[in-house]
Amino acid sequence: MLTVFDPACGRRSRSVWMAWGFRLGLLMAVFLGVSGCGSGSKEAANSVSGTVKVGSESVTSGEVVFVGSDNKQVPAPIKTDGTYVINDPPTGEVKILVRTMGGGVGGGAAIQPKDAPAMSGSKGANPPPKYASLTTTDLKFTVQSGKQKYDIEMKP
């Protein structure tokens, strides 16, 4: 790059400084892109994972919800292999809800969109309705800091 020196004031021209600012900005953008800033791939420090079953049969759809003493709800989907992972759950004793997708707050019947495939054809057990409501579920767990395992076992 051509460096322009203004002898009247004894310093480089403004265009030279702007070019250096552009280079610095470009370098920072490349660095942040390579370092993964904002990629969202950070693993949660606190989590609870496990399986979901009714009797001996896996539940392969729906969601698990941990409800803290302050009624904060943290949901996680049940994967097709019958497992779940709750990231950053509330600590202390939580009530656990297990419901089919579309269940409202506190439970209730699942609402299925018209264009969704029928739920009855899905493999795996369906959670009994009692586990979808805060007033009827008897599932509880004490969450501590770190990674924990808790297999949810419901009675048919």
Which tokens hold the place of 12? 């480089």
Strands (E), the chain: 5-6, 11-12, 47-54, 57-58, 63-67, 73-77, 83-87, 92-99, 140-143, 147-149, 152-154
Asked if 125 contacts 52 with a C-beta cutoff of 8 angstroms, the reply is no
- The structure's pTM equals 0.63
Q: Do residue 26 and residue 55 come from a single domain?
A: no
Q: Do residue 108 and residue 75 come from a single domain?
A: yes
154 forms beta bridges with 54
Q: Do residue 9 and residue 82 come from a single domain?
A: no
* pLDDT (tens digit per residue) in 13-41: 556 555 655 565 555 555 555 444 444 44
Q: Do residue 28 and residue 51 come from a single domain?
A: no
Task: Calculate the CA 145 to chain-centre distance.
Answer: 17
* Residue 41 belongs to a domain: no
